[in-house]
């Protein structure tokens, strides 16, 4: 059993000091508090976990300032056959946090030092307050106030939660003067926020195949649509062997989903930029803007210490089961990939998921195959990066019969991957063999030769 330390605190029961420990975690790098475990690590359990959870949530909500909405998670866990309560506390963006009854003073403000919550000095409090980031989507007023939230309400209804007339206040959608804030704008049925998914034929941005906008609607709706799109792009490569069938996705699905959710939730929308997903012939790249949260180091980022840039948005995503426990997403990514897939700059964070090798690991390099194998990690149907003529002829034959066909239809009919279809289409358009008439969504293909 892990012992108490900088990020771990044990409580035999729900003690009077619990708020002080929560404040100390909020003001540093976050941490975990276990109720039902003695200081020496002995698991004693709790008798009434539901009552403890309710009391704990009420005390954090009512006894700590500023607002802690979206900065903590409470879970029931079993340890050694007994029930304990796990409270995960994130590092807060509005430091310093303090006990409401003492205000922003040395009696009310604490930081975590080792395994203890230590009072802050007046100087520490002043310096922390001066460095606070005051611009956030919860503070900025929406430039539109005629907002509706039918999509958001339907998502909550699907989870068995009915939003009452005070939902805007309870979800943090209002500024201090009662106007809709920018968070409300992001979650409204109509807005001018859009996220782009771009697809390229090669490994760079020279040959754009497709650029699709997902947005102008509730951010939850846009996120779900992009998740669906990524699931469709993340095709399965297969090798038939005896006695088993080997299948492998281009990218591990769980890390891809976690990174995409992080891209949306942690993007700095106050800068006027929306996150972007890009699909290349060898990888998927996801970019969110804003860099690391002020006060967060790269080590904090990779350790899973949660410092949500948009805590109210994170809370709503968690309500709707798009996000699981706070701080767990990075761990899921790093179980399958190493840190090298991330690029962190002052202005953005980018994660690039390389496509997996074909399950046919015995395929010779730089040699075309005709048995369902691969060439240099690409799917059957290409020779040294160029789609072979047989595949192209099959595609053209299909387009003559069904000019409205989309990439997925073509791939299924011809029996190759969508990446191979994309490459073939690109090559044939460059050679003047086919052309596209109309929009990406409603247009048709014309076979010229």
Q: How far is Cα 162 from Cα 164, in angstroms, rounded to an integer?
A: 6
Per CATH, the homologous superfamily of domain 8-130 is Schlafen, AAA domain (3.30.950.30)
Domain boundaries, the chain: 8-130, 195-354, 382-447
Helix/strand/coil for 129: helix
SS3 (DSSP) at 70 = coil
Annotation: CATH topology of 195-354 = Heat Shock Protein 90 (3.30.565)
SS3 42: coil
The whole-number pLDDT of residue 203 equals 92
Predicted confidence (pLDDT) at residue 52 exceeds the cutoff of 90: yes
Segment 278-296, tens digit of pLDDT = 999 999 999 999 888 877 8
Q: Does CATH place domain 382-447 in 1.10.10.10?
A: yes
Q: Using one digit for the tens of pLDDT, what is the confidence trace for 207-237? A: 899 999 998 999 999 999 999 999 999 988 7
Would the pLDDT of 48 be above 90?
yes
Say which DSSP state 390 is in.
Answer: H
Strand partners, 446: 435
How large is the average pLDDT for residues 128-155?
87
d(C-alpha 128, C-alpha 353), whole Å? 37
Predicted TM-score (pTM) of the model is 0.63
Instruction: Give the whole-angstrom CA distance, residue 12 versus residue 82.
Output: 13
pLDDT of residue 362: 43
Q: What is the DSSP string of 74-102?
A: EEEEEETTEEEEEEEEPPPSSPPPEETTT
User: pLDDT per residue over 238-267, tens digit each?
Assistant: 766 556 667 889 999 999 999 999 999 999
SS3 139: coil
Average pLDDT score over residue span 163-188 = 94
What is d(CA 164, CA 151) in angstroms, rounded to the nearest whole number?
A: 15
At 247 the pLDDT is 80
Q: What is the mean pLDDT of residues 34-57?
A: 93
Average pLDDT over the chain, rounded to an integer: 85
pLDDT digits (tens, 9 = 90+) for 319-353: 999 987 666 788 889 989 999 999 999 889 999 99
- Contact, 145 vs 138, CB < 8 A? no
- The total number of residues written for the chain in this structure: 449
């Amino acid at each position: 059993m892990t012992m108490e330390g900088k990020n771990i605190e044990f409580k035999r029961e729900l003690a009077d000091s619990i708020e002080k420990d929560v404040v100390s975690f909020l003001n540093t790098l976050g941490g975990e508090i276990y109720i039902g475990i003695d200081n020496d690590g002995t698991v004693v359990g709790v008798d009434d976990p539901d009552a403890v959870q309710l009391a704990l949530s009420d005390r954090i909500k009512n006894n700590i300032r500023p607002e802690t909405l979206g900065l903590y998670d409470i879970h029931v866990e079993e340890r050694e056959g007994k029930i304990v309560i796990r409270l995960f506390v994130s590092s807060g963006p509005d430091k310093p946090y303090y006990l409401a009854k003492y205000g922003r003073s040395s009696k009310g403000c604490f930081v975590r030092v080792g395994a203890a919550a230590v009072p802050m000095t007046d100087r520490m409090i002043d310096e922390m307050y001066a460095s606070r980031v005051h611009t956030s989507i919860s503070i900025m007023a929406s430039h539109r106030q005629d907002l509706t939230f039918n999509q958001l309400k339907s998502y909550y209804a699907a989870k068995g939660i009915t939003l009452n007339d005070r939902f805007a206040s309870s979800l943090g959608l209002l500024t201090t003067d009662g106007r809709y804030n920018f968070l409300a704008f992001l979650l409204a049925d109509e807005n001018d926020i859009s996220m782009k998914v771009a697809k390229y034929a090669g490994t760079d941005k020279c040959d754009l195949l497709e650029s699709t906008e997902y947005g102008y609607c509730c951010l939850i709706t846009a996120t779900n649509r992009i998740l669906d799109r990524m699931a469709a792009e993340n095709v399965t490569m297969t090798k038939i062997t005896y006695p088993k069938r080997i299948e492998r996705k281009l990218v591990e699905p769980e890390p891809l989903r976690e990174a995409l959710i992080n891209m949306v939730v942690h993007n700095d929308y106050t800068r006027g930029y929306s996150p972007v997903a890009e699909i290349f012939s060898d990888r998927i790249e996801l970019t969110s803007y804003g860099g690391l949260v002020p006060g967060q180091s790269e080590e904090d980022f990779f350790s899973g210490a949660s410092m949500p840039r948009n805590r109210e948005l994170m809370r709503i995503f968690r309500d709707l089961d798009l996000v699981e426990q706070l701080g767990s997403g990075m761990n899921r990514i790093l179980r399958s990939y190493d840190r090298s897939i991330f690029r962190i700059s002052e202005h953005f964070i980018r994660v690039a998921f390389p496509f997996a090798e074909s399950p046919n690991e015995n395929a010779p390099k730089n040699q075309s195959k005709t048995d369902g194998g691969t060439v240099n990690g690409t799917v059957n149907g290409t020779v040294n990066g160029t789609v072979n003529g047989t595949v192209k002829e099959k595609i053209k034959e299909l387009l003559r019969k069904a000019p409205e066909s989309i990439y997925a239809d073509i791939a299924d009919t011809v029996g190759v991957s969508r990446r191979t279809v994309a490459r073939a289409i690109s090559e044939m358009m460059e050679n003047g063999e086919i052309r596209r008439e109309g929009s990406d969504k409603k247009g048709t293909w014309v076979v010229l030769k």
